[in-house]
Amino acid sequence: MADQTLPIHGALDLTPPRESQHTLLDILHDWVITVDHKKLGLMYMMMAIFFLLVAGAEAICIRIQLAVPNNHFISPQTFNRLFTMHGTTMVFLVGMPLVFAWANYIVPLQIGARDMAFPRLNAFSFWLTFLGGIFLYYSFIGGPGLYGTGSAPDVTWWAYAPLTAKAFSPGHATDYWALALIVTGFGTIGGGINIMATVLSMRCKGMTLMRMPLFTWLMFVNGAFVLIVITPLTAAQVMLLIDRYLGGHFFDTQAGGSATVWMHFFWIFGHPEVYVLVFPAFAIASEVIQVFSRKAIFGYPAMVAAVVGIAFVSLGVWAHHMFTIGMTSAGNAFFVLSTSLVGIPTGIKIFNWLATMWGGKIRFATPMLFCTAFLFQFLCAGLTGIMLSVAPWDWQLHSSYFVIAHFHYVLVGAIVFNVFAGIYYWFPKATGRMMSETLGKWHFWLFFIGFHVTFDTMHFVGFEGMPRWIYTYPADRGWQHLNLVVSIGGVIQAIAVLLFAYNLIWSLFKGKIAGNDPWDAWTLEWATSSPPPIYNFATDPVVRSRRPLWDLKHPEDPDWKYD
Amino acid sequence: MSAIPLVPASYEQEWHLPSKGRVGMYGLIIAESAIFTIFVVAYVYYIGKSLYGPTPQQVLDVPIFNTICLLSSSVTIWLSERAIERGNMRGFGLWWAVTITLGTIFLVGTGMEWYKLIYHDGLTIRTNLFGTTFYSLVGLHATHVVIGLIMLGLTLIFTLTGHVRQEHSERVQVLALYWHFVDAVWVVVFTVVYIVGR
Ligand SMILES: [Cu+2]
């Protein structure tokens, strides 16, 4: 019955469209000049997937190099560049564009709006982010410096002083790195402002704040949150460039400056950044788990409070990245306690997702498989996070592969898994076709196995004392077997991701026609056609509960009766 | 059942949303505040940490006149906001021009101060840590004054050509919000640089 009532009455403008030309140039022109939130969302998404493949390839090179002892697959210089580029790309050219990909595509549809609040600012933000990507990768050919031709930045993605000083990082590689981050930072500020204004000022009639889908809530908090998260980084990068180009002394210890100040500024950005990246994953889980458990989300107000709580607490935990620099014991104690505190609101979220699944009629389609794995993996990542938040434990394992395993459990095990879930879930809306479920299941299981082979094992490599950033290691350390396993897992993940890329392209042309509401979902984006028309809804929808499509499909038992 | 509205037709209620211009400007102000916070923290942390002179005590004079000009420009821009809301376009243009004049005086004052510091006292951004933090923080603020003056100037040109009318009062107020922010930041910068750090 669902499809008979959808798209909702008045959603589509039935006047026939004007004839349009469809040469390749026309289509390209269309995409370049667009200010439509859906196209920009897809452009952010394509950019993120492209750079995901690039940074993934960099990771594979790193893993080949580390697979066996005394290896010389790549040079030490290249190794340093690759892990710098891998980190920088994944955070700023994959993670951040993904935030705006989801927010752009989904939020206006979910709140019944026709576009973002500032469509032109939206396009401007995207192109700034894209320009940042070009800056960063141009460094491969444009930043020669002392190394001869071709040198990407090799200062790691947090670029501690004084390594970034002109004396230690000559050439322009570091400058391209700093510029790229400033430029994508401006794009992020524009995007954040846009999300905030869209959610506050563009909601359709009846969509009160407490009736917004949790997805929109998380994106809203994230939009406001990035404004205070990304800006300290922008400020610090400006200082770095002042040091490098105008002869300033911010991080110059020989003139009284402090390298520690850079660490503080970087991690004041760097820690909350993890939450900026993970909020979209939470957002996706909050939609997918409801729909595939056939139950409304458990504890909606608690979920909203928890995300606001996480945002606030996470602003006061940054120095847990710096336990080994020798802070006072009062400082250590403060950051141990504040970091552990994040566990409380995060725990609330996990319990609420579990409670949503509890007693539900769970359908394990591909999106739900990824979200279920997310729950489990995010829990593990949280637990190793609590372990590392204890200063003495951190002293032991700081800068070891245990730390790498921990944060990849968050970044891959939570974020990438849910990004895949989100793509499988909303692909039908964006393209009108379903993604192949068979390929999807293969993708999930291969990626799941590869992920655990790699990152579970990596914890033990860390326990055995292997430090990060080392180019190679001798055979007598006892690290070689585990490293080989880690690298094999990496290859399995790479195969899974290529399978996913193939699935995307195959489904785009050959996928089953999806219809408007293939998952029998409850939020407004499913109330219009797939793909949605450029104006989203011809007449503004009016809602009366958190699940407007439930009300529509079940007029005998609508949600608003229980408000 | 092809035409079920999402809610019964009888359901009607008042529906007010905040202006997106204002929300957007507040967003920008939040972001800018965070940038300034980092620069202010760096300034405060590095007070007295320069290994060699000149020190703030030796070279800085308190820019009282400048400060009075900038702070009173917040009042004049508020007067012009009130004027445009009431449709008094002459008053609006007048107070707007006064605001620009006061902002320009501030900027010229900063320029004169920097000229004295550079050519008389020999303090540049690379001289010492004080020079680095001073020019960065005051310069960041001055950059915002410049951007503000450009925006205000454009609005004045549009006003003189008759393109700004009463219905634009909302947009003008959003822009004025930015100017108020620039003034408020100066209070912090002034306190930190000329009172605490001197
Ligand atoms: Cu952290």
Indicate which of A116, A269, A542 best probes the interface with B, i.e. most B CBs within 10 Å of its own CB. A542
Which amino acid does the sequence have at B32? E
Residue B16 at interface with chain A, using a CB cutoff of 8 Å: no
User: What are the tokens at B23?
Assistant: 């929300």
Give the tokens for residue A277: 């990246």
The nearest CA of chain B is from the CA of A437 a distance in Å of 31
Q: Is B10 helix (H, G, I), strand (E, B) or coil?
A: coil
Alpha helices (H) along A342-400: 343-357, 366-389, 391-397
Question: Closest partner residue to A5 among B1, B13, B38, by Cβ?
Answer: B1
Assign residue A359 a region: left if phi > 0, alpha if psi is -120 to 50, beta otherwise? Answer: left
Q: Which of A49-53, A174-178, A188-192 comes out lowest in average pLDDT? A: A174-178
| Ligand 1 centroid – CA B175 distance (Å) | 37
ipTM of the prediction greater than 0.95, yes or no: no
Q: Name the residue in chain B with its Cα closest to that of A249.
A: B129
Flag whether pLDDT at A77 surpasses 90: no
The CB density around residue A209, as the number of other CB atoms within 10 Å, is: 12
| Dihedral sign for Cα atoms in the order A301, A306, A307, A309 | positive
Sign of CA dihedral A131, A137, A142, A145: positive
Name the token pair of B37. 């916070």
Name every chain B residue with its beta carbon within 8 A of the beta carbon of A236.
Answer: 38
CB contact under 8 A, B27 and A196: yes
Judged by CB atoms closer than 8 Å, whether chains meet at B30 and A224 is answered as yes
Comparison of pLDDT for A9 and A148, the residue scoring more = A9
Rounded CA separation A293/A290 (Å): 5
Burial B141-154 (b: 16+ CB within 10 A, else e): bbebbeebbeebee
By Cβ distance, the residue of B28, B42, B50 closest to A239 is B42
Domain residue limits, chain A: 35-553
Backbone angles phi, psi at A400, to 5 degrees: -105, 175
Determine the pLDDT at residue A148: 45
Predicted pLDDT of residue A141: 75
In the predicted model, is pLDDT for residue A19 greater than 90?
A: no
Nearest-Cα distance to chain B for A413, in Å, is: 30
Backbone phi and psi for residue A513, each to the nearest 5 degrees, phi listed first = -65, 130
**In Å, how far is B11's CA from the nearest CA of chain A?**
9
pLDDT at A326: 87
CA distance B37 to chain A (A): 8
Q: Binning pLDDT at 50, 70 and 90, where does residue A4 land?
A: low
Torsion of CA B49, B54, B55, B57, to 10 degrees: 170
- According to the model, what pLDDT value does residue B53 have? 81
Q: Which pLDDT band, with edges at 50, 70 and 90, does A22 fall under?
A: confident
pLDDT of res. A12: 76
Residue A542, amino acid: V
What pLDDT shows up at residue A154? 86
pLDDT grade, residue A149 (50/70/90)? very low
pTM assigned to the model: 0.93
Tens digit of each residue's pLDDT (9 = 90 or more) over A539-561:
889 998 899 998 888 888 888 87
Average pLDDT over residues A464-490: 92
Residue A438 above 80 pLDDT?
yes
Ion ligand 1 contact residues with beta carbon within 5 A = A 271
> How close is the Cα of A270 to the center of ligand 1, in Å?
7
Q: Which pLDDT belongs to residue A559?
A: 82
Query: Residue B1: what pLDDT?
Result: 32
Give residue A252's identity as a one-letter amino acid code. Answer: D
The span from the CA of A182 to the CA of B178, in Å, is 22
**Which residues have a Cβ under 8 Å from the Cβ of A72 and sit 6 or more positions away?**
A472
Residue A246, token pair as written in the block: 């105008």
Q: How far is B97 from chain A (nearest CA, A)?
A: 29
The domain locations on chain B are: 32-196
- The arithmetic mean of pLDDT across residues A87-114, rounded, is 95
Which residue is it, tokens 């001798």?
A474
Q: Taking residues A399-421, what's their average pLDDT?
A: 95
- Give the closest residue to A256 by CA, choosing from B135, B118, B127: B127
Contact by Cβ (8 Å): A466, A401:
yes
Largest CA distance in chain A: 76
| Pick from A202, A230, A542: CB nearest B7 | A542
Length, in residues, of chain B:
198
- Contact yes or no for A104/A38 (Cβ under 8 A): yes
Triad A195, A349, A88: Cα angle to 5° = 55
Between positions 57 and 86 of B, the ones with CB within 8 A of A are none
* Closest Cβ opposite residue B17 in set A118, A203, A248: A203
Neighbours of A527 (CB within 10 A): 28
What per-residue confidence (pLDDT) applies to A2? 45
Is the pLDDT reported for residue A298 higher than 90? yes
**Candidate from A197, A239, A247 with C-beta closest to B136:** A239
Work out the percent of chain A whose per-residue pLDDT is above 70: 96
Cβ–Cβ < 8 Å for A226, A189: yes
The pLDDT score that the predictor gives to residue B3 is 39
List A433's β-bridge partners, or say none: A513
Distance CA A75, CA B173 (A): 58
pLDDT at A173 exceeding the cut of 90: no
Query: Do A227 and B30 count as a contact with CB atoms less than 8 A apart?
Result: yes
Contact B147/A at CB under 8 A? no
Architecture of domain A35-553: Up-down Bundle (1.20)
**3-class SS of residue A493:** helix
Average pLDDT, chain A: 91
Burial A473-502 (b: 16+ CB within 10 A, else e): beeeeebbebbbbbbbbbbbbbebbebbee
Contacts of B95 (CB under 8 A, 6+ apart): B76, B77, B79, B80, B83
Rounded to the nearest 10 degrees, what angle do helices B64-85 and B89-115 cross at? Answer: 160
- The reply to whether residue B18 touches residue A201, judged by beta carbons under 8 angstroms, is yes
Sorted by sequence, the CB contacts under 8 Å of residue B89 that are 6+ apart come out as B83, B159, B164, B165, B166
> In chain B, which residue's Cα lies nearest the Cα of A6?
B2
- 């004839």: which residue's tokens? A19
Compute φ and ψ for A240, nearest 5 degrees: -60, -45
What is the C-alpha end-to-end distance of chain B, expressed in Å? 77
- For residue A171, the model assigns a pLDDT of 79
Q: What is the CA radius of gyration of chain B?
A: 22
- Residues of chain B under the 50 pLDDT cut: 1-5, 8-10
Quote the ligand 1 centre to A315 CA distance (angstroms): 10
> Which class is B32-196 in CATH?
mainly alpha
- Bridge partners of B145, per DSSP, are none
Best of B4, B132, B135 to disrupt the A interface (most A CBs within 10 Å) is B132
Q: How far is the alpha carbon of A92 from chain B, nearest alpha carbon, in Å?
A: 18
